[in-house]
């Protein structure tokens, strides 16, 4: 079974982003970039499926400028077999991304597609569900456990108020939550080996997808800052202030 994993190059999770002075976007110049953390979990899960003999091949796809090849190489070093860059100059919206991934899935005949539940830049949480919709595939979002049994993938989902187990007929889409696994680090020999693994490039036109945006970002601002309040001396003063001053008790 061929497994496809989609990864996105995003601002590193430890960087505190700043809004540009002209309010057009956040500042992305000279900022440390990394694989979206949820996508790294997706890569790890696919590699584990291959190690267990469930997956025969792991194809990793990223959409963006040539800089995303750095993240594709990282995924190859972690254990993916083959990488594909869909080359775009703009950062396409989730619907366009889903359409491009659908075209790749059809072309490559992938049975299981694993994606991060959301990217930590746009925080959209849409691409997996949209890809599933376009391919008439079932979806297992917010996965904390994944097992393939015959023609079905069993997924434990982290839902509000608890956990839910569902069964999905293959081909299927799974999106990862934090607790699915803990990603490994790439070893030096594997990083060297990754340089020789195949990394191809394709355009949205070749995939037959129109990536024109549907949304216009009018402005991006910083959220209102909270200011530090007062120091209270003890619990009694705290309770008193919450009752009389804040009126919340």
Partner 1 sequence: MTESMTNPMSILVVADHDNNELKAATLTTLQAAVELKASTGGQIELLVAGSQCEQVAQQAAAVAAIDKVLLADSDAVAHQLAENVAPIVVALGQSNSYSHILAAATTTGKDLMPRVAALLDVAQISEIIEVVSADTFVRPVYAGNALATVQSSDSIKVLTVRGTAFAPVATEGGESPVNTDIAANDTGISRFISEEKVVSERPELTSARIIISGGRGMQSGDNFPLLERVADKVGAAVGASRAAVDSGFVSNDMQVGQTGKIVAPDLYIAVGISGAIQHLAGMKDSKIIVAINKDEEAPIFGVADYALVADLFDALPELEQQLS
Residues 119-178 that bind partner 1 (CB under 8 A): 120-134, 136-139, 141-142, 144, 154, 157-169, 172, 177-178
Residue closer to partner 1 by CB (options 70, 240) is 240
Binding-site size for partner 1 (CB under 8 A) equals 75
When binding is defined by CB under 8 A, the residue of 19, 31, 191, 202 that contacts partner 1 is: 19
- By CB atoms closer than 10 A (0-12, 13-18, 19+), residue 66 is exposed
Residues 87-126 binding partner 1 (CB under 8 A) are 93-95, 98, 120-126
Q: What is the pattern of x (binds partner 1, CB under 8 A) and - over residues 27-66?
A: ----------------------------------------
Instruction: Give me the least distance between CB of 185 and partner 1, in Å please.
Output: 18
Task: Confirm or reject binding of residue 221 to partner 1 (CB under 8 A).
Answer: yes
Instruction: Give me the least distance between CB of 183 and partner 1, in Å please.
Output: 14
Please state the length of the chain.
Answer: 249
Instruction: Give me the least distance between CB of 150 and partner 1, in Å please.
Output: 13
Task: Confirm or reject binding of residue 69 to partner 1 (CB under 8 A).
Answer: no
- Taking a C-beta distance cutoff of 8 angstroms, is the pair 159, 191 a contact? no
**Beta bridge partner(s), residue 86:** 63, 202
Instruction: Give me the least distance between CB of 58 and partner 1, in Å please.
Output: 24
φ, ψ for residue 163 (rounded to 5)?
-125, 150
Long-range CB contact pairs, 118-124, < 8 A, 24+? 118/38, 118/175, 119/8, 119/10, 119/36, 119/38, 119/39, 120/10, 120/11, 120/13, 120/36, 120/37, 120/38, 121/8, 121/10, 121/11, 121/36, 122/94, 124/94
Query: What is the C-alpha R_g of the chain?
Result: 21
Task: Confirm or reject binding of residue 192 to partner 1 (CB under 8 A).
Answer: no
When binding is defined by CB under 8 A, the residue of 3, 5, 11, 86 that contacts partner 1 is: 11
């Amino acid at each position: 079974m061929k497994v496809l994993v989609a990864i996105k190059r995003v601002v590193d999770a430890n960087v505190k982003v700043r809004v540009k002075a002209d309010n057009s976007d956040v500042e992305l110049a000279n900022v440390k970039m990394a694989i979206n953390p949820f996508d790294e979990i997706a890569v790890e899960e696919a590699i584990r499926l291959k190690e267990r003999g469930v997956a025969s091949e792991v194809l990793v796809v990223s959409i963006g400028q040539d800089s995303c090849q750095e993240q594709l190489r990282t995924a190859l070093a972690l254990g993916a077999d083959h990488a594909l860059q869909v080359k775009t100059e703009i950062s396409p919206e989730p619907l366009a991304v889903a359409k491009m991934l659908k075209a790749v899935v059809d072309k490559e005949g992938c049975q299981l597609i694993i994606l991060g539940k959301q990217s930590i830049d746009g925080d959209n949480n849409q691409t997996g569900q949209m890809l599933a919709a376009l391919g008439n595939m079932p979806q297992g979002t917010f996965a904390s456990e994944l097992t393939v049994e015959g023609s079905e993938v069993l997924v434990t989902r982290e839902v509000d108020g608890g956990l839910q187990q569902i069964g999905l007929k293959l081909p299927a889409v799974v999106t990862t939550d934090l607790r699915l696994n803990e990603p490994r680090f790439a070893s030096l020999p594997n990083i060297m080996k990754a340089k020789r693994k195949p990394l191809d490039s394709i355009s949205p036109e070749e995939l037959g997808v129109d990536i024109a945006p549907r949304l216009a970002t009018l402005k991006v601002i910083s959220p209102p800052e909270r200011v530090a309040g007062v120091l209270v001396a003890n619990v009694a003063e705290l309770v008193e202030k919450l009752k009389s001053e804040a009126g919340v008790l």
